[in-house]
Copies of this chain bind each other. A is one copy, B any other.
Amino acid sequence: MKHYQEMSREELTQELTLLEEEYAKIKDMGLALDMSRGKPGADQLDLSMDMMDVLDSKSVLKSENGTDLRNYGILDGIPEAKKLMADVVGAKPENMIVYGNSSLNIMYDQISRAEVFGFCGNTPWSRLDQVKFLCPVPGYDRHFAITEKFGIEMINIPMTEDGPDMDLVEKYVNSDPSVKGIWCVPKYSNPQGVVYSDETVRRFAALKPAAADFRIFWDNAYVVHHLYEDNQAEILNILEECKEAGNPDMVFEFCSTSKVTFPGAGIAALAASEANIADIKNNLTIQTIGYDKINQLRHVKYFKDVEGIRAHMMKQADIIRPKFEMVEQLLEEEIASRGIGKWVNPLGGYFISFEALEGCAKEIVAKCKEAGVVLTGAGSPFPYKKDPKDSVIRIAPTYPSLEELKKAAEVFAVVVRLVSAKKLLAEK
């Protein structure tokens, strides 16, 4: 198919006329579709329903260490849940804390703790004139919302196909003591699906931060969220790499079962060095008596071990893979073939990150909305919701049914073509 960029003024005008007619027809259909939400579909959730049976009134609700899990006690997670979550990220149980239902809340608490109390004896960030965070972009809007809330200055770091631009990361981290952290989703990044290369992970581990309390916030949200059985990304173990590089305390790793079992009713965990774990527990013991140990036990009994989780995730992959592939194929045929958009087909995670022609994202999202198709707000994957190129649109294929998704993706394709043709015509 001819790329729009290669079309003459006349050809583009003709194309635009046709697209405007088509768009008008779509609007008349009164659609109500949604590709905005990074949520599992009901059929994915159905897969975990048996977890509701593993504990009942006949169960002995005791930990393997003898603790009655119905009562107070155990601040940092039951031993068997620490083992399970440690195996998920390849850490040791003694480097884990298993919390409640939300890894986002763990991250918030870590930032809050740094602001008020400081990490490991360092000056609380709230007492410093300036605190900065590096934000690989596009990234996860809720990460940026936390740092924005605390008034932390966010600096965009462009993503490459191997992870964040490490030259830039090294430049900032190794020279500026006000740079205190970086948000990372190292595997199947949100929203691009980028997998950090071994070199990227090693360069992270080898950072020589100007700030003693610089921390990598390593949100391994999609650690077991593969789309394919035979093509699964693996990344290096950041805790081990940091330790070997002489930076054992430089990283907090986060994970959860939110998109494994039930979002909101799963378990979440943090992995870190002994010194960091001790520092956190020192504060945590003031904050709470402990987390929901029965739900931790429920997850352990259901999965038995990390292999149980992996097998479960393959069942989920079978459900969502067709959704991803359908969108990818449609984008390929309708958009890529016309030279008006880019993306990388992810091997896992929850999103496709579509890159429209510059200056088109906001209009595409607005016109989709007008036609009854909700997309994540343009700009969302950037600090302060500002996409410097106004080009990135996050597509979330998991939640709608395949049929709804197909309809929504078709509308999306028409709108992308329409907005792109208009833009290119205006530039002629």
| A residues neighboring B (CB under 8 Å) | 37, 39-40, 42, 45, 48-53, 55-57, 59, 61, 68-74, 100-102, 104-105, 108, 112, 115-117, 126, 142, 145-146, 149-150, 258, 262-265, 283, 286-295
Chain B nearest CB: distance from A60 CB in Å?
A: 10
Q: Which of B100, B142, B149, B262 contacts A283 (CB 8 A)?
A: B149
A179 to B289, CA, bound (A): 27
Identify the closest chain B residue to A267 (Cβ): B292
Chain B nearest CB: distance from A68 CB in Å?
A: 6
A264 to B57, CA, bound (A): 17
A112 cross-chain contacts in B, Cβ below 8 A: 112, 116
A258 cross-chain contacts in B, Cβ below 8 A: 72
Q: Quick check: A39 and B72 within 8 Å, CB to CB?
A: yes
Identify the closest chain B residue to A53 (Cβ): B57
A286 cross-chain contacts in B, Cβ below 8 A: 108, 142, 145-146, 149
A48 cross-chain contacts in B, Cβ below 8 A: 70
A59 cross-chain contacts in B, Cβ below 8 A: 52
Chain B nearest CB: distance from A398 CB in Å?
A: 11
Q: Quick check: B68 and A57 within 8 Å, CB to CB?
A: no
Q: With A59-B52, A68-B45, A116-B112 in contact, is A264–B287 under 8 Å at CB? A: no
A42 cross-chain contacts in B, Cβ below 8 A: 68, 71
A235 to B233, CA, bound (A): 60
Please list 5 pairs of residues, one from A and one from B, whose beta carbons are closer than 8 Å in the complex, sorted by A's number.
A37-B72, A112-B112, A265-B295, A292-B292, A295-B295
Q: Which of B72, B74, B116 contacts A116 (CB 8 A)?
A: B116
Q: Quick check: A292 and B263 within 8 Å, CB to CB?
A: no
A290 cross-chain contacts in B, Cβ below 8 A: 102, 264
Identify the closest chain B residue to A73 (Cβ): B264
Q: Quick check: B289 and A263 within 8 Å, CB to CB?
A: yes
Beyond contacts A149-B283, A263-B289, A264-B294: 6 other A-B pairs, Cβ-Cβ < 8 A, are: A49-B57, A100-B291, A105-B287, A108-B287, A145-B286, A146-B286
